[in-house]
C-alpha cells in the first residue's frame, strides 16, 4: 500500500508538470467524443479504455482530488481519485498503450494534448519506480557514456574505421579525405546517428557526395529518457550532444532518422548557437541546391511513405520527404491527402524499445495502419524513423504484407549519381 511520504513525493512531481498549458488540458475536456475514433489503438481494437479522453480521465481525477481550486466547478470532470497503487497501475496501462502520436489532438476541438497528459502518468511511474525498468537502464547507459567518453572512444573509433570501406565502396573519396570524420573541430555540421551501420553508412555516403563539411557524433541520437518520460534523464542525454556541438563549434546539428530524438532536440535546444535539422530536411536541401543527384530508374515498384508522427504531425517535416521521393520515383502513392490525419505505426512512445514484451499489442493495435498501407498497393514502404522502421517491419512480417520496408536515406544513397 502506498504510504503518505511516497504519495507526497509523487504529488510534488505531479505539481511540477502543472504549467498553464497542462492546467488547460486537464480542465477543458467537454467529453464531446470527437476523439473516439482518432486513436489507432481504439480504431484497431475497439476497447473503450483506449479512447484518448478515457486515458486522460485517470490523470484528471487525481488532479481534481489534489489540485482543484476552491469553488471551481468542472462539470466535465468525473469523480476525484486518490493516488494509490491501483491508480498507478491504471496510469501504466494508459501511458504504455499510448504512442504519443497526437492524432487525437488534431481531432479535439480544444487541441487537448494526450501526450502531454500522459507525460504526467509517466513521470509518476518513474517517481514510484514502476516504469519499464529497461528504458531507465538504457537511458542510464547513454548518460554514462556521456560521463566517461574516454572509456568508449577507442572501441567506437575502431568500429567507425571498419565502416569506412563500405562508404568508399558506394562513393569515391578524394585523396586525403576521411570517409567518416569524427571529433572534427571546424566542421559545419555534426551528424548524430544511431548505433549501427544502417544509420551511419548511407548518411556518410550522402554527406561525402554533397561535399558537406561534417563530423560524426560520438553519441547515439536516441533518447530513452524521453521514451520513459523522465525529464532529468532526457536532458542529461541531450546535454551530451549539445556539449559536443558547442565544443566543436558546429553551425548545425543533424539528427538521424529517429523522430523522437529530432523532436526532443529541436524543442529543447532552441537557444543554442547551432540550428537543429533532421537528416530528411538536410537531404531535401542537398537536392534543392543541386549538391546531390539521384537516378530515378533504380526503383521499379510503386512507393509509399509512412510519416513518422514525431517528424511529421509533431515537427512539421512533411514536404521534404515527398520532395525527395519525387526525385526517386514516378510512382509515389501517398497514404492520405492530409498528413495530419495519418495513422501512427503503433510503435512510438517506447513501445518498440520494449521489444517482444509489447509485440502482441503492437501488432493488434496497428491493424488500421496495415489497411492504410495495403490500400496504396505500393511494394516499397519508405520511412525516416528507426522506431517506425522496426514496427513496420514487424507488421510486414506479422500481416504478411509483402512490402519492402526501407529507410529513405538508404534509398537515396543507393540511387546517387556519381559525378564525372
Given the rule CB under 6 A, which residues bind ligand SF4? 29-35, 38-39, 41, 52-53, 55, 98-104, 107-108, 110, 112, 114-115, 344
**CA 372 vs CA 44, 243, 317, 388: distances in Å:** 12, 42, 20, 15
Q: Are 202 and 410 in contact (CB under 8 A)?
A: yes
Alpha-carbon span 161 to 314, nearest angstrom: 36
Nearer to ligand SF4, 29 or 324 (CB): 29
User: Minimal distance in Å, beta carbon 315 to ligand SF4?
Assistant: 15
Helix segments in 68-113, DSSP class H: 85-95, 103-107
Nearer to ligand SF4, 240 or 313 (CB): 313
User: Minimal distance in Å, beta carbon 36 to ligand SF4?
Assistant: 7
Nearer to ligand SF4, 53 or 384 (CB): 53
Pairing of strands 404-407, 380-383: parallel
Nearer to ligand SF4, 142 or 383 (CB): 383
Nearer to ligand SF4, 101 or 384 (CB): 101
DSSP state of 50: G
Q: Are 328 and 296 in contact (CB under 8 A)?
A: yes
Which three cell numbers mark 290?
543541386
State in Å, rounded, how far the first CA of the chain is from the last one: 72
Alpha-carbon span 322 to 329, nearest angstrom: 10
User: Minimal distance in Å, beta carbon 226 to ligand SF4?
Assistant: 15
Nearer to ligand SF4, 202 or 346 (CB): 346
Sheet arrangement for strand 303-305: 303-305, 380-383, 404-407
Cα torsion 288, 315, 222, 344 to 10°: value is -110
User: Minimal distance in Å, beta carbon 83 to ligand SF4?
Assistant: 22
Nearer to ligand SF4, 309 or 412 (CB): 309
User: Minimal distance in Å, beta carbon 76 to ligand SF4?
Assistant: 8
**CA 350 vs CA 135, 227, 232, 248, 380: distances in Å:** 8, 5, 17, 31, 25
User: Minimal distance in Å, beta carbon 349 to ligand SF4?
Assistant: 7
Q: Are 62 and 102 in contact (CB under 8 A)?
A: no
User: Minimal distance in Å, beta carbon 368 to ligand SF4?
Assistant: 11
Amino acid at each position: 500500500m502506498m504510504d503518505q511520504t511516497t504519495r507526497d513525493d509523487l504529488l510534488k512531481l505531479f505539481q511540477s508538470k502543472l504549467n498553464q498549458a497542462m492546467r488547460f488540458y486537464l480542465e477543458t475536456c467537454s467529453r464531446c467524443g470527437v476523439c473516439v475514433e482518432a486513436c489507432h489503438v481504439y480504431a484497431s481494437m475497439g476497447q473503450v479504455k483506449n479512447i484518448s479522453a478515457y486515458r486522460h480521465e485517470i490523470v484528471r481525477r487525481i488532479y481534481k482530488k489534489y489540485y482543484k481550486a476552491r469553488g471551481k466547478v468542472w462539470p466535465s470532470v468525473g469523480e476525484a481519485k486518490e493516488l494509490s497503487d491501483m491508480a498507478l497501475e491504471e496510469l501504466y496501462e494508459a501511458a504504455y498503450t499510448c504512442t504519443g502520436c497526437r492524432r487525437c489532438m488534431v481531432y479535439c476541438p480544444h487541441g487537448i494534448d494526450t501526450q502531454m497528459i500522459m507525460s504526467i502518468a509517466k513521470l509518476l511511474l518513474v517517481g514510484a519506480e514502476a516504469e519499464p525498468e529497461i528504458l531507465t537502464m538504457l537511458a542510464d547507459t547513454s548518460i554514462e557514456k556521456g560521463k566517461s567518453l574516454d572509456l568508449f572512444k577507442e572501441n567506437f573509433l575502431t568500429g567507425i574505421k571498419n565502416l569506412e570501406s563500405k562508404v568508399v565502396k558506394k562513393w569515391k573519396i578524394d585523396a586525403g579525405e576521411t570517409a567518416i570524420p569524427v571529433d572534427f573541430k571546424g566542421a559545419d555540421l555534426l551528424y548524430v546517428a544511431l548505433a549501427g551501420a544502417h544509420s551511419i553508412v548511407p548518411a556518410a555516403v550522402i554527406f561525402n557526395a554533397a561535399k558537406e563539411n561534417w563530423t560524426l557524433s560520438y553519441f547515439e541520437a536516441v533518447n530513452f529518457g524521453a521514451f520513459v518520460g523522465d525529464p532529468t534523464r532526457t536532458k542529461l542525454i541531450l546535454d551530451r550532444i549539445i556539449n559536443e556541438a558547442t565544443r566543436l563549434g558546429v553551425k548545425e546539428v543533424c539528427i538521424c532518422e529517429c523522430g523522437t530524438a529530432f523532436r526532443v532536440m529541436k524543442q529543447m535546444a532552441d537557444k543554442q548557437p547551432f540550428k537543429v535539422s533532421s537528416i530528411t530536411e538536410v537531404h531535401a536541401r542537398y537536392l534543392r541546391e543541386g549538391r546531390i543527384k539521384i537516378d530515378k530508374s533504380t526503383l521499379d515498384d510503386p512507393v509509399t511513405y509512412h510519416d513518422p508522427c514525431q517528424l511529421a504531425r509533431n515537427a512539421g517535416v512533411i514536404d521534404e520527404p515527398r520532395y525527395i521521393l519525387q526525385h526517386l520515383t514516378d510512382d509515389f502513392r501517398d497514404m492520405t491527402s492530409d498528413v495530419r490525419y495519418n495513422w501512427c505505426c503503433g510503435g512510438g512512445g517506447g513501445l518498440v524499445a520494449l521489444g517482444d514484451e509489447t509485440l502482441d499489442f503492437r501488432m493488434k493495435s496497428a491493424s488500421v495502419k496495415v489497411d492504410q498501407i495495403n490500400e496504396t498497393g505500393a511494394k516499397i514502404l519508405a520511412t525516416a524513423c528507426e522506431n517506425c522502421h522496426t514496427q513496420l517491419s514487424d507488421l510486414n512480417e506479422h500481416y504478411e504484407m509483402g512490402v519492402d520496408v526501407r529507410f529513405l536515406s538508404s534509398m537515396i544513397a543507393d540511387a546517387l549519381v556519381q559525378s564525372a
